[in-house]
Structure 1
Amino acid sequence: MPSRPIHHVINDRKFVCVSIDMPVRDVTRLMLQHNESAALVTEHGVLTGIFTERDATFRVLAAGLDADLTPVGAVLTHNPQTIGEHHPFGHALHMMYEGGFRHLPVVAPDGRPVGIVTARDALGLDATAFGEELIRREEITVIL
């Protein structure tokens, strides 16, 4: 499964993508509506950064900023590592592990965001492998 291309993993899944000048409160409301822990931030349609729930907590709330007045561009992570949609999913997992982050923007060659890979996607692999192992054990039990 880690050899599957990323576009099979993200599978045209919806993601939150916002403009760099959108207020933080509006961005977090969109993240809540879509049950997402990150938003991809663009400027003129090209990825410029990523805004995560950690950014909201540490860069906005802990800093005492006004979420209604603070543009997301002031508190996002600029120039995040990205990956193309045809790379293997395992490469994305390796990048997230090595970089110590849980979200990896997927971009087209022109820099336009096409999705996001998250640590949550790796849980799907574990669940699939676990299910396959259970089936194997049941088959062995029937044989014995």
Structure 2
Amino acid sequence: MPIMECCNIGVVCCDADASIPQVAELMRRHHVGDVVVVEYQDDKRIPVGIVTDRDIVMETVALQVDTEVFTAGDLMSAPVVSVQKDDGFIETLRLMRNNKIRRLPVVSADGALYGIVTADDIVRLLAMELSMMTSAIVEQPIREGRLRK
């Protein structure tokens, strides 16, 4: 399955010069734990970094520094690791595991931002698939019992 089939296409983005309070407000308003930092090239959003809620806490709040003096560009993880939208599910999992990341921007062939896939998305999808498989396992003997009376 291509990763574009299970990624979120409503990505919350900002420019590198957005202040950390602005980034935090975006996270709060959209109920997300990350904001993708983008540059615009020919009307395309090109991901250049990512800021997570953890980045904000660890790099500013925990150190008791003024968040107003930092921008998304200062805190973002860069260069951003991304996956092509046509890449497979397993390939994406390996990329996340090998890079020890939980959020991965999904890009089109020209590098434009298409969506984002998170560890939470993957766990949710796997849980749903396992639940459906469990139903099949439970129901199969019942069905067989009815057919072979």
TM range (shorter): 0.7 to 0.9
> Which of these residues, 2, 8, 15, is aligned with residue 19 of structure 1?
15
Supply the distance in 1 between the matched residues of 2:15 and 2:3 (Cα, whole angstroms).
24
Q: Which runs of 5+ in 2 are unaligned?
A: none
Give the RMSD, CA atoms, in angstroms: 1.7
Partner in structure 1 of residue 123 of structure 2: 123
Partner in structure 1 of residue 73 of structure 2: 73
TM-score of the pair, normalised by structure 2: 0.84
- The one-character-per-residue Cα deviations of 1:13-68 (angstroms, maximum 9, x if unpaired) are 31111100001111111112212111110133422111011111111212333223
Q: How does 1:1-20 map to 2 (within 5 A)?
A: 4-10=1-7, 13-20=9-16
> Which of these residues, 33, 37, 45, is aligned with residue 33 of structure 2?
37
Per the TM alignment, residue 93 of structure 1 is displaced from its structure 2 partner at its CA by 1.0
Change (3 A) 1:60 1:140: same
One-letter amino acid of the counterpart of residue 112, structure 1: A
One-letter amino acid of the counterpart of residue 85, structure 1: K
CA contact (8 A) 2:7 2:106 kept: no
TM-score of the pair, normalised by structure 1: 0.86
Number of residue pairs matched?
140
One-letter amino acid of the counterpart of residue 16, structure 2: I
Per the TM alignment, residue 74 of structure 1 is displaced from its structure 2 partner at its CA by 0.8
1:28 maps onto 2:28 in alignment: no
Greater CA drift, 29-38 or 63-72: 63-72
Q: Which runs of 5+ in 1 are unaligned?
A: none
Supply the distance in 2 between the matched residues of 1:70 and 1:108 (Cα, whole angstroms).
30
Greater CA drift, 96-105 or 133-142: 133-142
Q: 4+ residue runs of structure 1 moved beyond 4 angstroms? A: none
Supply the distance in 2 between the matched residues of 1:38 and 1:17 (Cα, whole angstroms).
9
- Identity of paired residues, percent? 28
Indicate the SS of the match to 2:10. Answer: coil
Larger radius of gyration: 2
Per the TM alignment, residue 112 of structure 1 is displaced from its structure 2 partner at its CA by 2.4
Supply the distance in 1 between the matched residues of 2:119 and 2:67 (Cα, whole angstroms).
26
Per the TM alignment, residue 141 of structure 1 is displaced from its structure 2 partner at its CA by 4.2
